[in-house]
Chains A and B, each alone.
Chain A
């Protein structure tokens, strides 16, 4: 009995020793090809925010200040309680911690972060919008989200002295909206029958006057959102050390599990096929075989989003856009096709901390669950899963997870922009 106890103890010690030796072995140095891949993910390689030719106030500081105020203003809602920040909470990297967004009702999908979206040619999981300004208009009139109407919002701009002055400084004199027989309390095309009826009774010139101001609300919000950018993370510090050839700094910044996880990420796990570039996204649409939300039919994703953006009067080619036609290359040369069924836009991986639940309908809670999914690559419920099984071991999956956690960093934006404008100080 005693002997077997000793043998057991020795075996345990030997096993532990072997494991410890394996886990703490010095990792192999990076090859030149790997260093190129690492550099391509480094935040230092992120170019300046690309211009948005469809929004002439995109880089106007005054527009960003008004957009900041609008983003946090609950008066932009049907019930006076919903601002963008209800769902896009700065403290949670501009997400809400829920499977699906919730305000007046329930959103159809998971609330994504806004940080870094100025780099994306497409917005929303299915890319049904092609600019930040056009995107911002949709939640404002979505009955489950802000639940208001454009007439109401335009009147708020006209009646609030600060908005009015700021607006007129940017876009010129506002039309006179005071005649309630021409401009009723509430009007908007779309789902609400009363508002829609009021909208249809208006002259097209008056509709145009309202649309103009409504669109400019979106353009001011977009000017604010362009300031929400990712900051260097521990990962970026590590890459800097690699590029400098500073071995000691590398060892201090990353432990072996994180290094191994990174190596898997760029090689065997094939994550950089889609999560590539300094934002860890190609901003393209892929079917990765995520299960549908319990009790719902699978989401068709991009195949619907593509049709919506092409028919959207607020797209880059529409007359509310400030861009010349040739500046709308993404929309002009948009892809169609069967591959897009069930495809969603690749999310950035720079905001994983505090942004659970993950995926387009919040189907996954933990990173471990996500990595297990990629490792199995089950067939898609709709369309075709582009990824194939990885065959990674449990400890490799843990290393990948350790690496993903090194990407966390608060936005690079100064705190002044991360709180409501009047609450500063």
Chain B
């Protein structure tokens, strides 16, 4: 009986250490990717008026699959910009061709977030996404580089 308990206790403690051992790196990875997905990178617009970041439905982005992005638009001082007209184009400079689809901003989600539907890439390589922003008589644009 004693023996059994002892064995069991030993078993439980190894389990805990193993679990910790496994979970610690996992949670670090999760935290890191969390930072990447939410904060991500951001890009300043050409005339310096806005800052744009995005998150993709596909993470990582793979070729030949249609998906959507959420584009976040804020002023250079970090104020979310509502009700802007967003035009998304893009292409591969090295191949002199555009996107295989015509993505559009379909919905304003609040807090400076815009739903961009119809994103798809049909080749691996270097892409550039151009986001044109028109709001309150101001027009500016952002170039997002993307390596697939």
A interface, CB within 8 angstroms of B: 37, 40, 121, 272-274, 276-277, 282-285, 329-330, 332-337, 339, 386
From A277, A329, A333, A335, contact of B63 by CB (8 A): A277
Inter-chain CA distance A335–B118, complex, in Å, is: 10
B118 A329 Cβ-Cβ under 8 A: yes
List residues of B (80-106) whose CB comes within 8 Å of A's CBs. 95-104
**Contact A276:B101 (CB < 8 A) given known A284-B122, A329-B117:** no
Interface hub of B99, B101, B103 (most chain A Cβ within 10 A): B101
Judged by DSSP, the binding face of A is loop
B118 A277 Cβ-Cβ under 8 A: no
Inter-chain CA distance A283–B64, complex, in Å, is: 8
CB distance from A344 to the nearest CB of B (A): 14
Inter-chain CA distance A398–B94, complex, in Å, is: 28
B123 A333 Cβ-Cβ under 8 A: no
A276 B117 Cβ-Cβ under 8 A: no
CB distance from B61 to the nearest CB of A (A): 13
The residues of A that contact B129 with a CB separation of less than 8 Å are none
B100 A332 Cβ-Cβ under 8 A: no
Q: Sort chain B's interface into a size bin.
A: 10 to 19
List residues of B (40-87) whose CB comes within 8 Å of A's CBs. 63-64, 66
CB distance from A220 to the nearest CB of B (A): 27
CB distance from A254 to the nearest CB of B (A): 23
Chain B, residue nearest A286 (CB): B97
A282 B63 Cβ-Cβ under 8 A: yes
Chain B, residue nearest A329 (CB): B66
**Contact A333:B118 (CB < 8 A) given known A273-B125, A276-B123, A277-B64:** yes
Inter-chain CA distance A277–B96, complex, in Å, is: 22
List residues of B (1-41) whose CB comes within 8 Å of A's CBs. none
A333 B64 Cβ-Cβ under 8 A: no
Q: Is B109 an interface residue (CB 8 A)?
A: no
Q: Is B124 an interface residue (CB 8 A)?
A: yes
CB distance from A48 to the nearest CB of B (A): 14
A333 B97 Cβ-Cβ under 8 A: no
The residues of A that contact B117 with a CB separation of less than 8 Å are 329, 332-333
The residues of A that contact B95 with a CB separation of less than 8 Å are 273, 386
A332 B97 Cβ-Cβ under 8 A: no
B99 A282 Cβ-Cβ under 8 A: no
Chain A, residue nearest B92 (CB): A273
CB distance from A339 to the nearest CB of B (A): 6
B66 A333 Cβ-Cβ under 8 A: yes
The contact sample of 11 A-B pairs, CB cut-off 8 A, is A37-B124, A121-B66, A273-B95, A274-B122, A276-B122, A276-B124, A282-B64, A334-B101, A335-B98, A335-B101, A339-B97
Inter-chain CA distance A330–B120, complex, in Å, is: 9
The residues of A that contact B64 with a CB separation of less than 8 Å are 276-277, 282-284
Inter-chain CA distance A121–B97, complex, in Å, is: 20
Inter-chain CA distance A330–B101, complex, in Å, is: 8
A284 B118 Cβ-Cβ under 8 A: no
Chain B, residue nearest A273 (CB): B123
Chain B, residue nearest A326 (CB): B117
From B98, B101, B103, contact of A339 by CB (8 A): B98
Inter-chain CA distance A40–B62, complex, in Å, is: 10
**Contact A282:B122 (CB < 8 A) given known A333-B117, A386-B95:** yes
Interface hub of B96, B117, B122, B125 (most chain A Cβ within 10 A): B122
The residues of B that contact A283 with a CB separation of less than 8 Å are 64, 122
B99 A335 Cβ-Cβ under 8 A: yes
Inter-chain CA distance A330–B122, complex, in Å, is: 13
Inter-chain CA distance A297–B18, complex, in Å, is: 71
Inter-chain CA distance A333–B63, complex, in Å, is: 16
